[in-house]
Amino acid sequence: MTATVRPVRDSLLTAIAREFKPLRFAQEMLARASGKTPRAARNWLSGTCTPDAEALIELMASCNSIADEVNALVAERKAARERKTCPGSD
């Protein structure tokens, strides 16, 4: 991969914070959107942890901006690999 690919963790946490931190009850709303606990949401908002795959999919389903961010990360990685096929797909 090239140096132009953004770190997933940082990009994901930035997108979550941008969407939820301005809200008055941010951790509760984030927990509700992800199907996880307010404590987990607080850890994501503070940058301590990132959502697991299940929570991420729930967030993507309920928040277009987070889905767009994840899709952009996938597109960046595909471009960085110059559209090579997966070794398992041959």
Give the pLDDT of residue 5: 63
In a domain, 13, yes or no: yes
Query: Average pLDDT for residues 78-82, to the nearest whole number?
Result: 82
Structural domain range at position 64: 8-81
pLDDT: is 72 or 85 the higher one? 72
> In this structure, what token pair is assigned to residue 61?
């389903």
Give the pLDDT of residue 78: 87
What residues have CB less than 8 Å from 88, skipping those under 6 apart? Answer: none
In a domain, 2, yes or no: no
The CATH number of whichever domain residue 34 belongs to comes to 1.10.260
In a domain, 56, yes or no: yes
In a domain, 88, yes or no: no
Cβ proximity of 59 and 18 under 8 Å: no
Give the Cα separation of 58 and 55 in Å (integer): 5
Give the pLDDT of residue 22: 95
In a domain, 69, yes or no: yes
Indicate if the pLDDT at residue 1 is higher than 80. Answer: no
Count of domains observed in the chain: 1
Query: Measuring CA to CA, how many Å separate 16 from each of 2, 59, 85?
Result: 25, 9, 31
In a domain, 27, yes or no: yes
In a domain, 39, yes or no: yes
pLDDT digits (tens, 9 = 90+) for 31-63: 999 999 999 999 999 999 999 999 999 999 999
In a domain, 3, yes or no: no
> In this structure, what token pair is assigned to residue 23?
């809200």
